Structure 1
Amino acid sequence: MSRKIYFSTPGRFSAKRTLIGAVSRCHHRLAPSHARKIARKLFLTPTRSPAVNAAPNGLERFTAQSQQGELQMYSVGAGPTWLLTHGWSGSASQFFPLMAHIASLGFRAVAFDHPAHGESGGHESHIPGFVQAINDVLDQVDNVSGVVAHSMGAAAVLESQHPQLDDLPLLLVAPVLNYRENLYATVRQSGYSLKLFDEIVQEVGEQHGYPIETIEPLTKLGARRHQVVIAHDRSDRFASFSVTEKANDYQHVCLLPTDGLGHGRILKSDVTLQAFTDLAAKTDPAVHSVESATSSSDIAARKKNRQTTETSASAMDV
């Protein structure tokens, strides 16, 4: 979905929203096939956002093959692997500060651009494609110890039934746990014809054997057996914090609320970096010794560097 629609926010009466609704409904009635073609392009075309962070030292680039097309991969560090997966209209570059932190603790961080995102191939994207891309990457990356996922990427990870994920800890950042409700709400806010949008959703579901009615990230989170840590900002405009609070009722879920970090900036916050350190330490005790050896001056330098390279809030909130 176009970033302008997906990242819209509710408001009072909008003449533009009313006009969009009238035009899209009329188009659908008069030329249904053409309307579906235009709507598919609109709703399934993400924004290819430019890199939002400088590449960490030692970053390696390579490609992986997916049923959704060629995927651009990024790797830094050595050791047990943590896989990172971004959300809609995002890119792997959002994870670069976190990947550097992961590498500093003795792990290998591997991220990738989803189909039609970043530098990966493809012209369309959707949650079945996200899930398939995650599964294809897991088939090609060895020694995965855990997964970090942001926004819609978190929903896709929870939807994945890849056997490797069964026994892995997860760090979810600003997850969209009410995916279907969130999706339809954002389209409703845009004013676009819900009937036309629903036809596109059903069409994608049929093509990929993945009906949208089966997508239930919150329910599937509850069914997991291993620890999940969630970092989520209370003022997140794009992923419901109140829904995430429900997940905190699960014994295997630990919620870390933040304030003032929004939907994107939270990815490179001290809260998220520390959340990774704590979660990784539970699976690899060697992390404790690495972390204790980090001096306070190093921590301050990392924080200053993050503040210097941080882009505007609107650019990061993807």
Structure 2
Amino acid sequence: MSKKVYFSTPGRFSAKRSLVGAVSRCHHRLAPRHAKKVARKLFLTPTRSPMVNAEPEGVVRSRVQSQEGELQMYSLGAGPTWLLTHGWSGSASQFFPLMAHIASLGFRTVAFDHPAHGQSGGEESHIPGFVQAINDVLDQVDNVSGVIAHSMGAAAVLESEHPQVDDLPLFLVAPVLNYRENLYATVRKSGYSLKLFDEIVQEVGEQHGYPIETIEPLEKLSRRRHPVVIAHDKNDRFASFAVTEKATDYPHVTVLATEGLGHGRILTSDVAMQAFTDLAAKMNPAVQSVEAQTENKKASA
């Protein structure tokens, strides 16, 4: 859905709720086909945000083909690969500072813009499209050692049934682990006709063979076998930290709670940088020595 709806808060949107509800319900009743066309554009069109961070030196751009259209991909560094996937109305540029950090530790990083996001092709986007794009990129990127995902991108990674994903550690940042509840609650707060919205959701599910009732990121997180680290701000307004807390019951999950970093700033925080370093060192002890060398160089300088 558009950024205006998805990233709204109840306080700001409530003044318009009654009017939005009345107009959308009337539109649906009097002109159902046109109402669905308008709703589809509203809810399936993300905001193409401009780059939020400068490209690190050495970034290599490329275009890759996906069933969802041509995707813009960014690569930095050399070595075992970590794939990075953003959330709704986001872009790969959100990861640029983290990519530079990861590359400095001896890894290759690959990030891409999802369909209809950033500089990728496409006019519509949705979670089935996110999952398909992740799967298509995994098919074309070699030597993947782990995945980093933000927001809705985290839900999509957990939903992916790609063979590589099952055997990879994950670093999830501000994940939306109650995707369906979060989605419908957001639309409910906007005042928009839930009946009309549900028709769009069901239509997308039928078109892609991906019923929304099957989307259960938290439950799929519980079934993973490899380490998962989650960094999440306690006061995140867009992804529930309370839901993330439930994951602390899973022995393979480590939850790092932050304060004051919100939903987006946490991606470029020291917490995120250190969390990746710790996870990478756990999977490969050689990383620890690389970090130590870097610190020694800084100290000597």
- The TM-score normalised by the length of structure 1 is 0.92
Q: Letter of the aligned partner of 1:42 in structure 2?
A: L
The secondary structure found in structure 2 opposite 1:61 is: strand
Q: 1:12 to 1:262 in 2, by over 3 A?
A: closer
- Tell me the residue number matched to 1:15: 15
Q: Letter of the aligned partner of 1:177 in structure 2?
A: L
Question: Over residues 233-267 of structure 1, what are the superposed CA-to-partner deviations in whole Å (9 max), with x where a residue is unaligned?
Answer: 00000000000000111000000000000000000
Are residues 1:102 and 2:98 paired? Answer: no
- Tell me the residue number matched to 1:164: 164
For residues 283 and 297 of structure 2, the distance between their equivalents in structure 1, rounded to whole angstroms, comes to 27
Question: Over residues 161-197 of structure 1, what are the superposed CA-to-partner deviations in whole Å (9 max), with x where a residue is unaligned?
Answer: 0000111000000000000000000001111000000
For residues 290 and 224 of structure 1, the distance between their equivalents in structure 2, rounded to whole angstroms, comes to 29
Q: Which consecutive unaligned segments of at least 5 residues does structure 1 have? A: 302-318
For residues 177 and 65 of structure 2, the distance between their equivalents in structure 1, rounded to whole angstroms, comes to 28
Q: Letter of the aligned partner of 1:147 in structure 2?
A: V
- Tell me the residue number matched to 1:224: 224
The secondary structure found in structure 2 opposite 1:168 is: coil
Question: Over residues 94-153 of structure 1, what are the superposed CA-to-partner deviations in whole Å (9 max), with x where a residue is unaligned?
Answer: 000000000000000000000000000000000000000000000000000000000000
Greater shift after overlay, 5-14 or 217-226?
5-14
RMSD after superposition = 1.4
- Tell me the residue number matched to 1:191: 191
Structure 1 position 286, deviation (Å): 1.5
Note if contact 2:188-2:194 (Cα within 8 Å) is conserved in structure 1.
yes
For residues 60 and 199 of structure 1, the distance between their equivalents in structure 2, rounded to whole angstroms, comes to 41
Written as runs of structure 1 = structure 2, the 5 A alignment for 1:10-49 is 10-11=10-11, 14-49=14-49
Structure 1 position 293, deviation (Å): 1.3
Q: Letter of the aligned partner of 1:237 in structure 2?
A: R
Q: Which consecutive unaligned segments of at least 5 residues does structure 2 have? A: none
- Tell me the residue number matched to 1:276: 276
Structure 1 position 11, deviation (Å): 2.4
- Tell me the residue number matched to 1:307: none
Q: 1:13 to 1:78 in 2, by over 3 A?
A: closer
Note if contact 2:14-2:190 (Cα within 8 Å) is conserved in structure 1.
no
Structure 1 position 209, deviation (Å): 0.2
The secondary structure found in structure 2 opposite 1:254 is: strand
Q: How much identity, in percent, do the aligned residues show? A: 83
Structure 1 position 46, deviation (Å): 0.1
The secondary structure found in structure 2 opposite 1:120 is: coil
- Tell me the residue number matched to 1:139: 139
Structure 1 position 282, deviation (Å): 1.5
Q: Letter of the aligned partner of 1:205 in structure 2?
A: G
Question: Over residues 262-304 of structure 1, what are the superposed CA-to-partner deviations in whole Å (9 max), with x where a residue is unaligned?
Answer: 00000010001000001011222211111111237849x9xxx
Greater shift after overlay, 273-282 or 287-296?
287-296
The secondary structure found in structure 1 opposite 2:10 is: coil
Written as runs of structure 1 = structure 2, the 5 A alignment for 1:80-91 is 80-91=80-91
Are residues 1:200 and 2:197 paired? Answer: no
Note if contact 2:85-2:148 (Cα within 8 Å) is conserved in structure 1.
yes
Q: 1:199 to 1:286 in 2, by over 3 A?
A: same
Structure 1 position 9, deviation (Å): 1.0
The secondary structure found in structure 1 opposite 2:275 is: helix
Are residues 1:119 and 2:112 paired? Answer: no
The secondary structure found in structure 2 opposite 1:57 is: coil
Q: Letter of the aligned partner of 1:255 in structure 2?
A: V
For residues 112 and 37 of structure 2, the distance between their equivalents in structure 1, rounded to whole angstroms, comes to 29
Q: Letter of the aligned partner of 1:83 in structure 2?
A: L
For residues 88 and 34 of structure 1, the distance between their equivalents in structure 2, rounded to whole angstroms, comes to 25
- Tell me the residue number matched to 1:314: none
How many residue pairs get aligned? The number is 300
- Tell me the residue number matched to 2:235: 235
The secondary structure found in structure 2 opposite 1:142 is: coil
Note if contact 2:53-2:96 (Cα within 8 Å) is conserved in structure 1.
yes
